[in-house]
Amino acid sequence: MIELQQTAAALYLAAGIAALVGLTLPSQQASRYAVIGLVLGAVTQGLAFATLHRLENVPSLRSLSLFGSFAVWVGIIFLLFLLRRIRLAGFTAVAGPVAFLVVFFASMGLGDSPDAEGRLEGVVPHAHVLLSSAGLSLLGGASLAGLFFLIQHGRLKRRKPSSRLPSLEALDRVNRIALAVGFALLTLGVLTGPPWLYSVTGKLWSGSDHEMWTMMAWGIYAGLTSARFIGGQGPRQAAASAVAGFAFLFFAVVGVGLLR
């Protein structure tokens, strides 16, 4: 599995480089190679996950490495889905190197946290980890779209729009889709957490830092989602909110664990 993950990381890096070449020259062929690289990387990662149970020491579901690797996989699949419908020049040039870094370093840690019983731990823990990581991934995509939106919006105000960045309309559309789907997945991830905890400790709530920060992050995203789809929040405000919200969510889910 580790070798497959590292191969996927290399493919993501190659895709990012090809996308950057495609933007710089510009070259449609290089851009197509970039998409092919993402597809091959996603397929390779899928094969790696399919062989997970064959490892002598199966990584724990609590492994940050496994969480991050799966989040990247979901994010790449989501990006490929969007690329079929929306012109997103520049996205692959950023997504490829980011995916490379996360997957490569995650692959180095997959053997460090084996499951105590040598196996994964049931349907509910699976659902909690997979839904939470997928939600984090898509909300990260909304944040990236928001960041690009703010950059392009600033350039337009200075009358220097960048042809290497997607249009404001395309970025806003990505923000809306990723926020809606990502928040739904995050909500399902939060709802499947207490049953897992109860099966282990007999409690639905332990009051840990991770639980407290995650619930605060969920509450923030509940407000952001309501403002976006019910309150009539403008695209620029939504873009800035997506960036700030994901920064808080990332700290709540990942940063708090690293500080312990």
Are 113 and 130 members of one domain? no
Query: From the centroid of its chain, how far is CA 243?
Result: 13
pLDDT in tens, 22-37: 998 888 999 999 999 9
pLDDT of residue 118: 39
Report helix, strand or coil for 166.
Answer: coil
Report helix, strand or coil for 233.
Answer: coil
Length of the chain: 260
Are 82 and 146 members of one domain? no
pLDDT of residue 258: 67
pLDDT of 101 > 80? The answer is yes
pLDDT in tens, 212-244: 999 999 999 999 999 999 998 999 999 999 999
Residues 6+ apart with CB under 8 A from 137: 71, 72, 74, 75, 78, 182
Q: What is the mean pLDDT of residues 42-54?
A: 88
Kindly report which listed range (28-42, 144-158, 187-201, 221-235) carries the lowest average pLDDT score: 187-201
Domain stops at, among 121, 141, 167: 121
Q: What letter represents residue 105's amino acid?
A: F
Query: From the centroid of its chain, how far is CA 194?
Result: 23
Provide φ and ψ at 142, rounded to 5°: -65, -40
Are 237 and 162 members of one domain? yes
- CA 69, CA 65: separation in Å to the nearest integer? 6
Model confidence at 120, in pLDDT bands (50, 70, 90)? very low
Q: Are 162 and 155 in contact (CB under 8 A)?
A: yes
Are 42 and 61 members of one domain? yes
Inter-CA distances, 62 with 18, 100, 257, Å: 34, 22, 10
Q: What is the mean pLDDT of residues 160-177?
A: 90
Mean of the per-residue pLDDT values for the chain? 89
Are 57 and 127 members of one domain? no
Kindly report which listed range (39-43, 56-60, 126-130, 134-138) carries the lowest average pLDDT score: 56-60
- Alpha-carbon torsion angle 157, 163, 168, 171, nearest 10: -140
The total domain count for the chain is 2
- CA 98, CA 105: separation in Å to the nearest integer? 11
Are 13 and 79 members of one domain? yes
pTM of the model: 0.91
pLDDT of residue 102: 94
Are 131 and 228 members of one domain? yes
Domain that holds residue 2: 1-121
Report helix, strand or coil for 164.
Answer: coil
Model confidence at 260, in pLDDT bands (50, 70, 90)? low
For the chain, list the strands marked E by DSSP. Answer: none
- CA 166, CA 88: separation in Å to the nearest integer? 5
Are 128 and 256 members of one domain? yes
